[in-house]
Amino acid sequence: MVAPPVSQDADTLAYVKGIEDELNKVLGQKVAYTEVKLVAVENDARKNWAVRARETNLGDLCADATRAALDTDIAFANGGGVRSDVAIGDITYGNAISVMPFGNSLCKIETTGQTILDALEMGARLYPEPNGGFLQTSDLTYEIRSDIATPVKLDNRGNFIGVEGPRRVQNVRVARQPLDPASTYTLSAISYLLKEGGDGFTMFKGSKVIVDEQGLDYEVLITYLKDNLNGIISSSSLYGNETGDGRILVKNGPDPVPTPAPTPAPVKPVADPLARTDDPLLPASAAASTLALCALAGAACATHALRRKRETTPDSR
């Protein structure tokens, strides 16, 4: 048995401290500024992970950074990979690394809409309980029906094997258009999720890999903050609301069936102003009276003409 040294070596301590000092200079460098808190944790004291149970602005930010880096149709950020809030103020290299501390590499694949639906179902299966596989998204929106039990089937290792029954993930849209299960989409996320089947996401195995092991997650986040956001997250930006910008909606039941508009009352025809509206025979009677008056006038004219003829003809007797 080797006894531990009585005291630490002074030269070794000095060497380690020098490395730490250089590292701290880098970690302390400012990369951006945020006017709003970027949320990963619901309750710091109890470590309730908001990003593992609902949409947050930090989840949106991480997913957007991933999609921008690999130029894909959509992107996922698994809630278990987002590990720290970012307070209002300067964002440093150290802050960004704290958010995504595992240094996961990114991956870009080509996959079907049906596979994406299965992945979303897998991520939402434990809702409202926190779940490291809960998926934050970029350019994809979806609804979770909390009144429907999860239809996801797992093997004895917790890996996805299929869906049986009504789906709780509904109304999935990509770029605001309904997702087509038969269409092909490009998707980016960490390799742990897409290639290694982490958190049980085995549905991506067999998908075509377009970009493999491209960059690290925290590096992509820093680049996005500096280049795409020009170093500022304002309160009026996509990330201005701690609960995100509406990419994930939870419903406890179907939308109500719209109440049909009442049938308008029939419009009554406008009555003849010359006829009494309470006697349907009056219009016909009025027509007959008119004909009779015309006949009388004709007879009167004939009588008057005969009389004048008699007055002007000499008496032949």
pLDDT string in tens for the chain (317-residue length): 666 666 777 877 777 777 777 777 778 999 999 999 999 998 755 568 999 999 999 999 999 999 999 999 999 999 999 999 999 999 999 999 999 999 999 999 999 999 999 999 999 999 999 999 999 999 999 999 999 999 999 999 999 999 999 999 999 999 999 999 999 999 999 999 999 999 999 999 999 999 998 899 999 999 999 999 999 999 999 999 999 999 999 999 887 777 777 777 777 766 655 545 554 544 554 444 444 444 545 555 455 555 555 555 555 44
Residues 6 or more apart whose CB falls under 8 angstroms from that of 82 comprise 40, 51, 58, 59, 62, 99, 100, 136
CA distances 141 to 120, 165, 169, 245, 273, Å, are 10, 22, 10, 10, 63
Reference 204, options 130, 127, 123; nearest CA is: 123
Based on its alpha-carbon atoms, the radius of gyration of the chain, rounded to whole angstroms, reads: 41
User: Residue 223 CB: number of other CB atoms within 10 A?
Assistant: 16
Residue 2: phi and psi, rounded to 5, are -95, 125
Residue 186: phi and psi, rounded to 5, are -95, 140
Q: Report whether 148 contacts 161 (CB < 8 A).
A: no
Alpha-carbon span 244 to 165, nearest angstrom: 30
Buried b (16+ CB within 10 A) or exposed e, 6-36: eeeeeeeeeeeeeeeeeeeeeeeeebbebeb
Q: CATH number of the domain at 28-238, please?
A: 3.90.780.10
Alpha-carbon span 231 to 236, nearest angstrom: 14
pLDDT at 317: 42
